[in-house]
Chains A and B, each alone.
Chain A
Amino acid sequence: AQKITQTQPGMFVQEKEAVTLDCTYDTSDPSYGLFWYKQPSSGEMIFLIYQGSYDQQNATEGRYSLNFQKARKSANLVISASQLGDSAMYFCAMLSNAGGTSYGKLTFGQGTILTVHP
């Protein structure tokens, strides 16, 4: 079974500082994708960054980077130079062709609420 664990219910960071949001995953599939989404109070899920299981380098997208440690099954999100607008819920998710089915099932963690202080 696929599982995503986010152990930090809430995180606080000072504006302009960096913050790391933790994510560990469990899957028996050799091929999978890892995603991070941001959910502001409005509710919409905003795609941030993607990491494939066979990617050799860590993914980066602007101020977002993904610290991918395959052996430890972790995919932590690093946000550099935090801004007030970064305050939101953040979800880690995994996409895999679970058990050989023909679609990619996106499995979500419980989320981490990030609060950026001025």
Chain B
Amino acid sequence: DGGITQSPKYLFRKEGQNVTLSCEQNLNHDAMYWYRQDPGQGLRLIYYSQIVNDFQKGDIAEGYSVSREKKESFPLTVTSAQKNPTAFYLCASSIAGGANQETQYFGPGTRLLVL
């Protein structure tokens, strides 16, 4: 089955700790995205990547970092510089990331909580 997987489902972070959220897709999509969702809110774009070894900041990139070494994988690191990391994180992908009719498909999400 083609789709997007995210792990872990729940993640706990201690103060000052960096944590990495995994996102893998087997849809053969070029573009991948990371969004953050706070309770009762819509999604906000953190980072996106249209091609391997290239990525761009979204609206709320501060305190986050990403890498795109493989087409299938787009991990997100929440660094200690992110002062309010508690949120639901969703990864998405689309075919190429450049057209207005491209549907973005989402993974199941990771809930990050700060201890």
Number of interface residues of A (CB under 8 A): 29
Inter-chain contact B100/A104, CB cutoff 8 Å: yes
Inter-chain contact A33/B100, CB cutoff 8 Å: yes
Number of A-B contacts (CB under 8 A): 75
Chain B residues near A106: list those with CB within 8 A: 33, 43, 45, 92, 104
Q: Closest A-chain residue to B105, C-beta based?
A: A47
Inter-chain contact B98/A103, CB cutoff 8 Å: yes
- Kindly identify which residue among B97, B103, B111 contacts A47, using a CB–CB cutoff of 8 Å: B103
Expressed in whole angstroms, the Cα–Cα distance for A47 and B92 within the complex equals: 11
Q: Does A68 contact B (CB under 8 A)?
A: no
Chain B nearest CB from A92 CB (Å) reads 9
Inter-chain contact B104/A110, CB cutoff 8 Å: no
Inter-chain contact A44/B102, CB cutoff 8 Å: no
Interface residues of A (CB under 8 A from B): 4, 31-33, 35, 37, 42-47, 50, 52-53, 91, 93, 95-97, 102-106, 108-111
Expressed in whole angstroms, the Cα–Cα distance for A111 and B44 within the complex equals: 13
Q: Which of B36-78 contact A (CB under 8 A)?
A: 40-45, 48, 50, 56, 58
Chain B nearest CB from A68 CB (Å) reads 14
Chain B residues near A32: list those with CB within 8 A: 100
Inter-chain contact B48/A103, CB cutoff 8 Å: yes
